[in-house]
A and B are shown apart, each in its own frame.
Chain A
Amino acid sequence: MVDLSLRLGVVAAGPQPILPLAASHLTYATASGTWVGPVDLTIGQTGATVVLGPNGAGKSILLRLLHGLLEPTTGSVSWNGRPLDRDTRRRQAMVFQDPVVLRRSVAANLRYALRIHGFRGAALRDQVDEWLCRAGLTQLARRPATVLSGGEKQRLAVARALCGRPEVLFLDEPGANLDGASIIAIEDLLRAARDGGTKLILVTHDLNQARRIADDVVFMVAGKAKERAPASQFFDAPATDEARAFIDGRIVL
């Protein structure tokens, strides 16, 4: 069977990449104060960008602003020069600190996300089985997702986010309050996704996790991006006093 585009002499073009992601003079303020910004930031197409900083630095708010769950007070977020639209929304995903699981079985949670991405019939069933296997949840497929342990819920949330093969995956403290084995399982999924071409943008205050995953680091303090550097440079020779204090385990206010 001859591809129609070849017969017509048309070069089939894939969809435009949605990265780089650019935040321009981004701020988020409420009546009680300014939580983020101004932040100017450009995030490239590959690897894992870790947003690091102490509690209350505005990391999670920044993540929600970038993902489009919060409207910035001023400034803008652009995806490869374009504002967020429905297509760009479908090509990214997010995993929350407290995993939100639908009140359905584990398999039905995956089925729900896969349907959104257009899977039907046998392909849908195959994908559900594949992601159950990848997340180590095959034995729990028919169990209500709400009764899973914290680590199992987070694995399900990560698998559900990844099953649509997002180009960008946002993660808000995905290892918070989890045991070591669960964190390793989740990081394995994330590394596989990164190696498969998914851009990871991960918020954490866990230095060890940042060291394991980060290709580059955005260091935030008091709502501002204080430092941006490749991971090795950031951890070996931080440029700011705040970053040095944070890495040394001294509290940064």
Chain B
Amino acid sequence: MQDFGDAFGLAFGLILGGDPDLAEIVGLSLRVTLIAVALSCAIGFPLGAATAIMRFPGRQGVVVAMNALMGLPPVVVGLLVYMLLSNAGPLGVLQLLYTPTAMIIAQCVLVTPIVAALTRQTVEDLAGEYDEQLRSLGVGVSGQAATLLWDARFSLLTTALAGFGRAIAEVGAVITVGGNIDHVTRVMTTAIAVETSKGNLGLALALGIILILLAMAVNGLAMTLRSQWMGRVYG
């Protein structure tokens, strides 16, 4: 219990002390994760909507694959992205390994199936309600997808937050492709892993607490914006 008390004290000391190293790590964590989640939403929303409303041979297989990929092991994703970006890999020429960009790519690969699968389910439920009305109005497939995504936007914010939660808490993929280089690719989770391995359990726990607080703050901010948005839309 003493360790937990010390960890909380240390965590709040780090936050209130405005530690520049901590600020850098937190900033990079947020930057990498928010960009990765934004990219995942840009890919996953239309992909999920298309899978929800289009009927094509093998659709059920795509849905099963999409759902299964939600459980992608981060280390495996890290390994695959590592092989793609390493000097010997097909994208090695880009020299992205051990950069924040590599970490963004890895998180994007990890989060996109989650966003796509949850979007597919959300949009499919709404499409069941809207289908005849939209067809009656003569709305084409792309118009239907856009309408359904827009009308499901408040639910899809929760989907994006699920992706954010997965990405911000992930360590296996980012440590493999980022390398946890101090002042370059060190993020919250990799810093926790390093401090734990060095035996600095108090500092690791403090960083963990800050990570949790960060995730809660982002969720709280998103939910506040959502209710204000709904209020503005509906007056």
A interface residues (Cβ-Cβ under 8 A, vs B): 64, 67, 69, 86, 89-90, 93-94, 96, 100, 102-105, 112-113, 116, 142-144
Contact = CB atoms under 8 A, between A and B. Distances in A.
Contact of B133 (A90, A100, A103): A100
18 contacts: A67-B136, A69-B132, A69-B135, A69-B136, A86-B138, A93-B136, A94-B132, A94-B136, A96-B133, A100-B133, A102-B130, A102-B147, A103-B126, A103-B152, A105-B234, A105-B235, A142-B234, A142-B235
Given A93-B136, A94-B136, A113-B137, A104 B129 contact: no
A104 B233 contact: yes
B62 interface: no
Interface in B149-190: 151-152
A103 B151 contact: yes
Given A104-B151, A112-B147, 5 more contacts: A86-B138, A100-B129, A102-B130, A105-B234, A143-B234
A90 B130 contact: no
The 4 A-B residue pairs with the shortest CB-CB distance, nearest first, are A142-B235, A100-B133, A89-B138, A103-B151
Contacts of A102: 130, 147, 151
A94 B134 CA distance: 10
A96 B235 contact: no
Interface string B117-133: 00000000010011011
B136 to A, nearest CB: 4
A93 B132 CA distance: 11
Q: Which of A90, A96, A105, A112 has the most CB of B within 10 A?
A: A112
Interface of B: 126, 129-130, 132-133, 135-139, 147, 151-152, 233-235
Nearest to A104: B151
Contacts of B235: 105, 142-143
Nearest to B152: A103
Nearest to B138: A89
Nearest to A108: B233
A86 B152 CA distance: 27
B130 A105 contact: no
Contacts of A142: 234-235
A96 B152 CA distance: 22
A144 B234 CA distance: 6
A100 B138 contact: no
A90 B135 CA distance: 10
A102 B139 CA distance: 14
B233 A116 contact: no
B144 to A, nearest CB: 12
A105 B136 contact: no
A100 B137 contact: no
A116 B130 contact: no
B202 to A, nearest CB: 49
Nearest to A92: B136
B146 to A, nearest CB: 11
A100 B137 CA distance: 12
Nearest to B153: A103
Contacts of B138: 86, 89-90, 116
A116 B234 contact: no
Contacts of B234: 105, 142-144
B229 to A, nearest CB: 13
A185 to B, nearest CB: 21
A96 B137 CA distance: 12
Nearest to B139: A116
A100 B151 contact: no
Contacts of A100: 129-130, 132-133
A51 B205 CA distance: 72
Nearest to A112: B147
Nearest to A107: B235
A116 B137 CA distance: 8
Contacts of A143: 234-235
B233 to A, nearest CB: 7
Contact of B132 (A90, A96, A113): A96
Query: Which residue, A94, A102, A116, has most C-beta atoms of chain B within 10 A?
Result: A102
A86 B143 CA distance: 14
A35 to B, nearest CB: 17
A102 B234 CA distance: 13
A148 to B, nearest CB: 12
